[in-house]
Amino acid sequence: MRLIQYNSQKYTDISGKDVAALTTTIDNDCINWIDVEAAEEQVVKQIAAYFCLHEMIIEDILIQDHLPKLEIFENHLFFTLRMLYYNSKDEELNEEQLSIVLGENYVLSFQSGIEGDVFDNILADLKLGKGIIRKEKTDYLFYRILDAVIDEYFNILELLREQIETLEEFILSTPHPSEATVGQILELRKKITLVRKYTIPLKDIVSKLKTADSKFINPGTITFLQDISDQLLLLNTNFETFREMLKDLMELYLANLSHNLNRVMKTLTIVATIFIPLTFVAGIYGMNFENMPELHWKYGYFIIWGIMLLLALLMVYYMKKMHWFE
């Protein structure tokens, strides 16, 4: 748990585990940002009591399986969304719930996990007083938090784009389809479905926020929220394109599979069609009938060789005409 207090003059950053101690240092002349990692029920309830939050909000913070949502109360504004991190080790997407309460001079952020390096940039800017962040109200801080989360989405977008392109190149260059490919396509599709599950409602909610007419959202912030909106639209459009690409890859893969089967069957047919009739001819003259005139001809054996060669050539010619060797 961490309390960051700032205004255009000052900046303090206190870490602590005791809610009571922390809340006593709250200064109404500053913006007070309390960031809680791995939020526990006890802590959430104490903070909620201090800031008089609605009972429903406490529940929403504690239950971690939400879609993004926005609720507007008279004295504060509640926003919950999903942070996603790409874990490069096991190539999984890690999820973390982030709940934000926005009051007149306080911002509360509750994270369900502890992987919160997303806020590092904001903290650095706050400390150094870089940009306009120290001069603006809580809504600008809120915009910065949203922006940081969405930047992480863009990282995931780029990682997925890379993986899709690698996969596409692999499928196009490997005409012998491997079974693992379907798994990879489905894995990517699943990740995209997961991200879209959160980004699509987020877009609606940011739009709602823009027109919300809440006293906590200053007109100047609307432009920044519009920017967030544009970025979310770009995200969603890109994910839509990725889905199309994966669908195309699946089709390509299945067409390759069909092609492969065709090629294998062609080989079998070519070999069988040439040699089965020849084997039959050889079988004929392997029969033990007493009266088989051809066997006694002087050049019978060589004539048969000739006939068989002719037969084989005819077959090959026919196959060539049917484009089977292509």
Among 190, 208, 215, 320, binds a second copy (CB under 8 A): 190
| Contacting range for a second copy; rule: CB under 8 A; set: 6-14, 34-42, 211-219, 255-263 | 255-263
Shortest Cβ 77–a second copy spacing (Å): 14
Which residue, 15 or 223, is less far from a second copy as judged by CB?
223
Q: Are 167 and 184 in contact (CB under 8 A)?
A: yes
Stretch that binds a second copy, among 36-44, 82-90, 145-153, 288-296 (CB under 8 A): 288-296
123 or 250, CB closer to a second copy? 250
Member of 21, 124, 172, 310 binding a second copy (CB under 8 A): 172
Residue closest to 112 by CA, chosen among 80, 77, 140: 80
**186 touching a second copy, by CB under 8 A:** yes
The sign of the dihedral angle between the CA atoms of 310, 314, 315, 319 is positive
Would you say 250 or 316 has its CB closer to a second copy? 250
Grouping H, G, I as helix, E, B as strand and the rest as coil, residue 309 is helix
What residues from 81 to 140 belong to the interface with a second copy (CB under 8 A)? none
Do residues 83 and 118 make contact, with C-beta atoms less than 8 angstroms apart?
A: yes
**In this chain, which stretch among 12-20, 29-37, 89-97, 295-303 interacts with a second copy, using CB under 8 A?**
295-303
Query: Hey, what's the torsion of the CAs at 24, 28, 31, 36, to 10 degrees?
Result: 30
Q: Among residues 294, 309, 313, 320, which is the contact residue for a second copy, using CB under 8 A?
A: 294
Residues 246 and 264: their CA atoms lie apart, in Å, by 27
- Contact 225/142 with Cβ under 8 angstroms? no
